Structure 1
Amino acid sequence: MMSHRAALSFINWSYACFQVQSTDRVSNHAPLHFDLSIFDIFTTIKAGATVILVPPNLSAFAINLADFIEKERISIWYSVPLVLTQLVLRGHLQRHQFHHLRCVLFAGEVFTIKYLRQLMSQIPHAKYYNLYGPTETNVCTYYQLEEIPPEAVDVIPIGKACANTEVLVLNDRGEIADFDEEGELCVRGPSLMTGYWGMPEQTQAVIVPYPKQPSLSMYRTGDRVKQALDGHYFYLGRRDSLIKSRGYRIELGEIETVIGHHPKVEEVAVIPIAHEHTGNEIKAVVVRQAGSQLNERDLLPYCAKHLPKYMIPSIEFQSALPKTSTGKVDRTLLRQQHINSNFNGIKYIPISDN
């Protein structure tokens, strides 16, 4: 349940942070049930700017979407990283100058570094912001990117708290974490949800007392992060993406980052598959770059070079990954597809104990 007050708090912050002007032309790419659309519509209205509705069918044709951005003179773009990745891969961005595009915002999932670097090199005059926040808080941290070093392969920071928000990290002992100590990100402030409609137990599980002042409340995001010495937070993954396999604690996002950096990999999702003996098997579902002949014999040695043996997944190639209505990878459906595939003869490569 998101109140008008919570939405307005985000609107006021984003209006000031990104200096939205009446002359701006702001894309509305997000579905109206997705919280990204609050910025698209209401921050734009606050500025007296113009909302440019992006036809849904353009998302399937990146080259047409690139033409649309240029033709409509869009100055602020906001979407999930997947859309921007498709623009890099298939939008033929070099055909346009995008003189009007001054600000590129992205949120919802991790933006693969190799594609983000390409986007920034092809549209170098724009400012780029990584926005982070679950629906329950809208955006709670942000990070403005500068140049990405060529050797960088890790994820970019999710930045620092927005001006109207406080964030902190709780370690496994329930204490406020030190710098560089992993823990769960917690958020408090006026943009926080009221709760889950008709689900008081679920609400009480995540809306908990604020340690510094128990009369106040905060939201436990379920996201694992750590804070660097410069104050920026780094997203490490979901609590539920930290699994155990053969006795080892494994962060699935780390495997995705490694495989996603391979030059012939377009997309990857790593999922756990329950196994009665090992706890979980790890499966990487990979989409190849167009025209690539990448196969298991190429990718498994690459994984062995960059991952410890116990983190090397089995590999399956697909032509595309299933997506939710908001453009994110549908991991629930992907796992269900695998469960069903065990009965349909789809190849499965088990992990060797050796």
Structure 2
Amino acid sequence: MSLRTGIQPVHRWVEQRAAETPDAVAVLADTDLNAVSRTYRELDESANRIAHWLRAKGVGAEDRVGVHLDRGLDLIAVLLGVFKAGAVYVPLDPHLPAARLAHVRADSAPAVTLTSGALPLDGALPVEALHAEWANFPATRPDVPYLGAAAAYVVYTSGSTGTPKGVVVPYEALATQLGWLCTRFGFGADDVVLHKTPLASDPSLWELLVPVMSGGRLVLAEPLNHGDPAYLLDVHDHYGVTACDFFPSLLRHFLAEPRAAERAAALSTVICGGEELNAELAARFAEVLPGAALYNLYGPTEATIAVTLHEVAPGAADPIPIGRPVPGTEILVLDPAGVPCPPGVTGELVIGGGQLARGYQGRPAQTAERFVPHPARAGERLYRTGDRARWRPDGVLDFLGRLDHQVKIRGHRVEPAEVEAALAARPEIAQALVVARPAPGGGHRLVAYLTRAAGAPELPVAALRRTLAGQLPPAMIPAVFVWLAEFPLTAVGKIDRAALPAPPG
């Protein structure tokens, strides 16, 4: 345990489950509704061997370990092995563009990167093929001191400068969040949790770890099928999934699948986050799955997955609140002068407490800008989210969007400036402006407004998509491209976003 807080580290929870029920199935990896599995004993021993192997290579506290693996049995064993070694997990989703993976590797500088497939090499950072020499190392648990303040993982988010920035999260923050999730939702041996969130997004960590911390079963969705509602319903039906995390836009399609009520009958807990949840979708959920509970969670990557929770009651009206702070987290709503706002008054949502990230990898100026000293408690910090919120009289929070133009698309936080920078790099484009607009089927979509460089042709949409696909993940590629002769301007010469034409469709 941590000497400072008494919080039990994540891997110790899993070790206890392995001691209690060694032969119970811990994880199943799905392929066409056929699964390969590992028991708790096998999972724990695999993680131990990986940890011993990493330690033998000199990897320990604060050393980054790049994990370039798809969903599969090895992924969860490697993640736990990194934690048992006291090192730092850096997910490298194999389905991200090569340019983005190269940036993450260069910025995080892993001591070693583990892969089972092709990974573009840069000649400087070491890469190891999966399974290297693990089988030759002990299956016993390594004796590694637990340092709660040490970094546990680095996840990269969209950056306002046009390049992703790494958020460094310590072990204690992760243990606090996941321990709360285990106890708050009462997960146990009868639960089956589906992991389908892309690995570069921090909610993937709760999906991967909470079921094996609580003695349940983890089901790993097939790679690339995580966004297919028909496939997900097949998985729910086949494995009896009891808990799942959905972005609201995907939940809408999931509920619309034929026989969803019958085939997802085992589902008892649904967690929504990453996008705004509206009353119409909540009502549809209550109609299709009346026996399941729906929760609205809110939390930026910089505060470890989730910092507020709201259980959505049937008949809820818009706006659906994001709820109350989770234990150990402080939520403030501040006006521009840093003064707390009374109920009903909108301000910036600011977070304090034990779930704050350490800051941004190698970016001290940005860290100091967003992680500021706590005005009332010396030595503590607050994270300025840039989100607009207000307290209701009953003590719950309403989320009211962004102070800036940063948005969430299908659960992924997107900085339009990063998309704009990629578009503007084309010599044919003079200006690029990317905004979020309501999508016809619900949620939001990105719309790119473009002007041509002098004498340049108007590029076809296919060429624009190819340009971006080589640099950005799918959620950051605009759904619509609109060419304009010029951007509309305000009286003071700034681009008038309100005057931009509505996109087609």
Structure 2 length-normalised TM: 0.50
**Which of 367, 373, 379 is 1:203 aligned to?**
367
The residue number in structure 2 matching 1:232 is 396
Once the two structures are superposed, what CA deviation does each residue of 1:265-303 show, in whole Å capped at 9, x if it has no partner? 31353779889xxxxxxxxxxxxxxxxxxxxxxxxxxxx
Cα gap change, 1:142/1:157 in structure 2, threshold over 3 Å: closer, same or farther? same
Partner SS, residue 139 of structure 1: coil
The residue number in structure 1 matching 2:183 is 16
CA displacement at 1:4 relative to structure 2: 1.3
Cα gap change, 1:172/1:55 in structure 2, threshold over 3 Å: closer, same or farther? same
Contact 2:236 2:263 in 1 (8 A): no
**Which of 133, 138, 147 is 2:314 aligned to?**
147
Contact 1:93 1:122 in 2 (8 A): no
**Which of 54, 58, 74 is 2:241 aligned to?**
74
Confirm whether residue 180 of structure 1 aligns to residue 344 of structure 2.
yes
**Which of 444, 456, 461 is 1:269 aligned to?**
444
**Which of 90, 101, 112 is 2:267 aligned to?**
101
The residue number in structure 2 matching 1:38 is 205
Say what the alpha-carbon RMSD is for the aligned residues.
2.9
Question: What are the residue-to-residue correspondences of 1:157-172 with 2, within 5 Å?
Answer: 157-172=321-336
Confirm whether residue 61 of structure 1 aligns to residue 228 of structure 2.
yes
Cα distance in 2 for residues equivalent to 1:95 and 1:44: 24
CA displacement at 1:60 relative to structure 2: 4.6
CA displacement at 1:226 relative to structure 2: 0.3
Cα gap change, 1:95/1:43 in structure 2, threshold over 3 Å: closer, same or farther? closer
Cα gap change, 1:63/1:166 in structure 2, threshold over 3 Å: closer, same or farther? same
Cα gap change, 1:62/1:177 in structure 2, threshold over 3 Å: closer, same or farther? same
Quick one: which amino acid aligns to residue 310 of structure 2? Y
Q: Percent identity?
A: 26
Confirm whether residue 136 of structure 1 aligns to residue 288 of structure 2.
no
Contact 2:197 2:226 in 1 (8 A): no
Cα gap change, 1:86/1:94 in structure 2, threshold over 3 Å: closer, same or farther? closer
Cα gap change, 1:268/1:110 in structure 2, threshold over 3 Å: closer, same or farther? closer
Quick one: which amino acid aligns to residue 290 of structure 2? P
Quick one: which amino acid aligns to residue 301 of structure 2? T
Question: What are the residue-to-residue correspondences of 1:276-295 with 2, within 5 Å?
Answer: none
- Structure 1's consecutive aligned runs of 4 or more residues displaced over 4 angstroms after TM superposition are 270-275
Once the two structures are superposed, what CA deviation does each residue of 1:133-162 show, in whole Å capped at 9, x if it has no partner? 00111200010111125xx3x231000000
Which sits farther off after the overlay, 99-108 or 156-165?
99-108
CA displacement at 1:101 relative to structure 2: 1.0
Quick one: which amino acid aligns to residue 228 of structure 2? F
Cα distance in 2 for residues equivalent to 1:268 and 1:25: 28
Contact 1:25 1:76 in 2 (8 A): yes
Cα distance in 1 for residues equivalent to 2:231 and 2:344: 43
Partner SS, residue 404 of structure 2: helix
Quick one: which amino acid aligns to residue 117 of structure 1? A
Cα gap change, 1:64/1:54 in structure 2, threshold over 3 Å: closer, same or farther? same
Cα gap change, 1:118/1:26 in structure 2, threshold over 3 Å: closer, same or farther? same
Quick one: which amino acid aligns to residue 478 of structure 2? L
Cα distance in 2 for residues equivalent to 1:196 and 1:165: 20
Cα distance in 2 for residues equivalent to 1:114 and 1:36: 24
Quick one: which amino acid aligns to residue 163 of structure 1? P
Cα distance in 2 for residues equivalent to 1:123 and 1:51: 22
The residue number in structure 1 matching 2:478 is 334
CA displacement at 1:206 relative to structure 2: 0.6
Quick one: which amino acid aligns to residue 481 of structure 2? H
Quick one: which amino acid aligns to residue 267 of structure 1? G
Contact 2:249 2:442 in 1 (8 A): no
Contact 2:261 2:288 in 1 (8 A): no
Which has the greater radius of gyration?
2
Cα distance in 2 for residues equivalent to 1:74 and 1:271: 32
Partner SS, residue 234 of structure 1: strand
Cα distance in 2 for residues equivalent to 1:82 and 1:148: 19
Question: What are the residue-to-residue correspondences of 1:307-346 with 2, within 5 Å?
Answer: 325=473, 330=476, 333-334=477-478, 338=481, 341-342=483-484
Partner SS, residue 173 of structure 1: coil
Cα gap change, 1:205/1:47 in structure 2, threshold over 3 Å: closer, same or farther? same
Quick one: which amino acid aligns to residue 51 of structure 1? L
Cα distance in 2 for residues equivalent to 1:200 and 1:349: 36
Cα distance in 1 for residues equivalent to 2:225 and 2:445: 28
Cα distance in 2 for residues equivalent to 1:115 and 1:28: 22
**Which of 262, 269, 276 is 1:110 aligned to?**
276
CA displacement at 1:212 relative to structure 2: 2.2
Contact 2:227 2:250 in 1 (8 A): no
CA displacement at 1:82 relative to structure 2: 2.2
CA displacement at 1:211 relative to structure 2: 2.4
Cα gap change, 1:71/1:136 in structure 2, threshold over 3 Å: closer, same or farther? same
Cα distance in 2 for residues equivalent to 1:11 and 1:239: 29
Contact 2:447 2:478 in 1 (8 A): no
Partner SS, residue 64 of structure 1: helix
Cα distance in 1 for residues equivalent to 2:445 and 2:208: 34
Once the two structures are superposed, what CA deviation does each residue of 1:88-142 show, in whole Å capped at 9, x if it has no partner? 23x2244625332110011111124322321221011001111100011120001
Partner SS, residue 210 of structure 2: helix
Contact 1:26 1:77 in 2 (8 A): yes
Quick one: which amino acid aligns to residue 237 of structure 2? E
Once the two structures are superposed, what CA deviation does each residue of 1:227-252 show, in whole Å capped at 9, x if it has no partner? 0000000000011149xxxxxxxxx9
CA displacement at 1:225 relative to structure 2: 0.3
